[in-house]
Amino acid sequence: MVSTLLTPHVVNLDRVRPAIRALQPDLVSWRRQIHQHPELGFQEVLTAELIHQKLSEWGIAHQMGVAKTGVVAVIEGRRSGKTLAVRADMDALPIQEENEVSYKSQRDGSMHACGHDGHTAIALGFASYLARHRDFAGTVKIIFQPAEEGPGGAQPMIEAGVLQNPDVDAIIGLHLWNYLPMGTVGVRAGALMAAVECFRCTILGKGGHGAIPQTTIDSVLVSAQIVTLLQSIVARNVDPLASAVVTVGELHAGTAENVIADTAQMRGTVRYFDPKYQGFFQQRLEAMIRGVCDSHGAKYNLDYWQLYPPVVNDAAIADLVRSVAEAVVETPAGVVPQCQTMGGEDMSFFLQSVPGCYFFLGSANATRNFTYPHHHPRFDFDETVLQVGVEMFARCAERFLAD
């Protein structure tokens, strides 16, 4: 993806219909208003109120307070037909913004550092466009979802019935993506993003003096061997044609240089694309921890949990999105299928429930210094892409509902 980022792609905005191009000032205004008032997961009160105000202004039926702070809009066409859902996440991150811009976050310690403000603005623009262009068959649901960054709002919204009444036939969503330049779309069938699993382990040894190690059970030594051994899960237990990651991101132990620590704590994450590996890593990881601890006479406490399953796109819906992208960004060179990432997303729960496609919309612009990665305190994106996102949603809806 690095080489793609260095290759400029310029989207032909003539491919964006005039009615959507005319929305661009509003799209920027909504995005910046949301950006200035970032809200963490299940706290998106101001964001939901803005959505409510706009949907009410446009005469769009909607439900508030779904899964605490979620909003679901329902836009019916002039004829009966299928139902397409569009999902946009609303939450921010606990990051202190370092950008010096007029729309900088006004909340210390919170920032839209992943583009969800843009996702919400694009979904609002799509709703505005549909409200004035209802000559389609079927229904469009727009799901404004809380808490994607954690603890996860998709599953609670599904449990609240957002995919029913009417039943959703397919779902699409997008993620602004600063690893691709504006003018490109990343879309592929099958796995796009990885499953996210997490673990927390405490090694229980026996402390003592660093000069008399024979009387101790060294939790640091045990932990070091475990960290090294865990890498063999991917190297020797996973199909080399598959992809997986086991990362220990935290390791804490000890209080002094001459004291052997009696306990050590480690935390980490596991990522993989193939759903067949669900449950496998937990079993192998615990077996290795148990084996190392047994060999040293140590004990352990392990917590292991799945956060999100992999994001797996339906082949037919992905093909629809790809064909729309080729029309919007003008040439097939602007469509990037090599766009997989080990990042996770709870859009995966929606895609487990109904066929759908999640895709990346390139938002980087090196000439304007919009190249900082997601979750960086200086993350920002080229707002020109907002109208392109609305056009993508509009064409996907027209194509799907017409079939």
Q: Answer whether 307's CB lies under 8 Å from 152's CB.
A: yes
Q: Are 320 and 357 in contact (CB under 8 A)?
A: yes
Tokens, residue 220: 């640091």
Half-sphere exposure of 163 (CA within 13 A, CB side): 21
Out of 39, 44, 148, 345, pick the active-site residue.
148
Q: What is the pLDDT along the chain (403 residues), one digit of tens a residue?
A: 334 444 555 678 999 999 999 999 999 999 999 999 999 999 999 999 999 999 999 999 999 999 999 999 999 999 999 999 999 999 999 999 999 999 999 999 999 999 999 999 999 999 999 999 999 999 999 999 999 999 999 999 999 999 999 999 999 999 999 999 998 999 999 999 999 999 999 999 999 999 999 999 999 999 999 999 999 999 999 999 999 999 999 999 999 999 999 999 999 999 999 999 999 999 999 999 999 999 999 999 999 999 999 999 999 999 999 999 999 987 667 999 999 999 999 999 999 999 999 999 999 999 999 999 999 999 999 999 999 999 999 999 999 999 7
Nearest to 97 by CA among 111, 84, 83, 107: 111
Domains in the chain, ordered, with CATH? Answer: 2-193+310-402 (3.40.630.10), 195-308 (3.30.70.360)
Whether 148 is catalytic: yes
**Exactly one of 91, 262, 274, 345 is catalytic; which is it?**
91
Residue appearing with tokens 């990881």: 285
| DSSP assignment of 206-243 | B-EETT-GGG-B-HHHHHHHHHHHHHHHHHHHS-TTS-
